[in-house]
């Protein structure tokens, strides 16, 4: 596809916003992530029409409609396959996937593992608030086992939480970072870095749900930059991720795997080319 526009000047973050008003509760961490998306796009001087943001279902998955880029708000848990199909056939686009912890790690959990393995050059941003907000406060895969505030699991889930960064590393993600919605500028920098890194990039953003997890307002007191530089060594990254307390932020792993290459370059069928195998052998 040919370049359709050449811009005179870089666009400002607000130029990447659409006119749609977010459905989020006041104080939701996702406002800040939306703002980080637009800052990152502006910093990278992306043409809005050459960006696609794909999502599934959940509060955070509403983000595409709030952006002035191409978007796809798909079904619950399937954002990654939609994005992978798009990126394989449209390598010219910058493809991001946005969603929450329930969408990405529960109903879409296997796609997360396989997307890490496949290493298609897309960026996956998960706004993790350890709760299903859209359905009013149920436990998600990242919820602590003893969280008893959900009517669905009044005694807590009593099952082990999911550690997305560790799983991402073990499954082959090529870039792993954690960010905090309390720091939109830092989040924007990490998203831009993730987009620019080849292969499958995974960014977990700690994004509080002030309605169903009001105690998460205190996250801003706990999060702090990881006191280490990003590593390209999976063994070092594994040690780091297995021992951190899930509140260190920053880029933690930048791998060197080559991204998935499909060789997609469609052309018209040459008449008769494919028919040969059906002709008789004589």
Site residues for other proteins per CB under 8 A: 1, 4-5, 18, 20, 47-52, 54, 62, 64-65, 67-75, 77-78, 80-90, 92-93, 110-111, 113-114, 262-271, 273-275, 277-282
Min separation Cβ 267 and other proteins, Å: 5
Report the alpha-carbon angle 122-165-23, nearest 5: 65
Min separation Cβ 148 and other proteins, Å: 32
| Cα distance between residue 176 and residue 180, in whole Å | 14
- Residue 73 or 217: which CB sits closer to other proteins? 73
- Residue 27 or 85: which CB sits closer to other proteins? 85
CA nearest neighbour of 62 among 37, 85, 39: 37
| Cα distance between residue 141 and residue 147, in whole Å | 12
Which of the 8 DSSP states describes residue 88? H
- Residue 67 or 190: which CB sits closer to other proteins? 67
b/e map 258-276, b = 16+ CB within 10 Å: ebbeeeeeeeeeeeeeeee
Min separation Cβ 29 and other proteins, Å: 21
Min separation Cβ 277 and other proteins, Å: 8
- Residue 54 or 192: which CB sits closer to other proteins? 54
- Residue 82 or 206: which CB sits closer to other proteins? 82
Min separation Cβ 266 and other proteins, Å: 4
Altogether, the residues listed in the chain come to a count of: 282
Rounded to a whole number of angstroms, the CA Rg of the chain reads: 20
């Amino acid at each position: 596809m040919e370049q359709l526009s050449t811009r005179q000047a870089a666009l400002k973050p607000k130029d990447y916003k659409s006119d749609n008003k977010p459905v989020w509760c006041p104080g939701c961490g996702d406002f800040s992530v939306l703002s980080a998306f637009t800052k990152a796009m502006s910093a990278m001087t992306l043409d809005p029409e050459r960006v696609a943001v794909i999502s599934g279902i959940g509060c955070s998955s509403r983000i595409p409609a709030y952006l002035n880029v191409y978007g796809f708000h798909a079904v619950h848990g399937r954002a990654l396959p939609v994005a992978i199909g798009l990126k394989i056939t449209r390598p010219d686009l910058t493809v991001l996937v946005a969603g929450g912890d329930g969408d990405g790690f529960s109903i879409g959990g296997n796609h997360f593992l396989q997307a890490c393995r496949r290493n298609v050059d897309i960026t996956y941003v998960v706004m993790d608030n350890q709760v299903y907000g859209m359905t009013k406060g149920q436990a998600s895969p990242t919820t602590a086992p003893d969280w008893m505030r959900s009517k669905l699991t009044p005694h807590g889930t009593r099952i082990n939480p999911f550690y997305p960064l560790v799983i991402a590393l073990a499954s082959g993600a090529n870039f792993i970072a954690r960010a905090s919605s309390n720091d939109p500028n830092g989040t924007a920098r990490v998203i831009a870095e993730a987009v620019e890194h080849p292969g499958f990039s995974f960014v977990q953003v700690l994004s509080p749900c002030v309605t169903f997890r009001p105690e998460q307002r205190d996250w801003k007191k706990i999060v702090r930059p990881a006191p280490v530089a990003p590593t390209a060594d999976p063994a070092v990254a594994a040690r780091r991720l297995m021992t951190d307390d899930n509140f260190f932020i920053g880029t933690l792993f930048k791998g060197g795997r080559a991204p998935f290459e499909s060789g997609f370059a469609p052309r018209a069928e040459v008449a008769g080319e494919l028919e040969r195998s059906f002709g008789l052998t004589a």
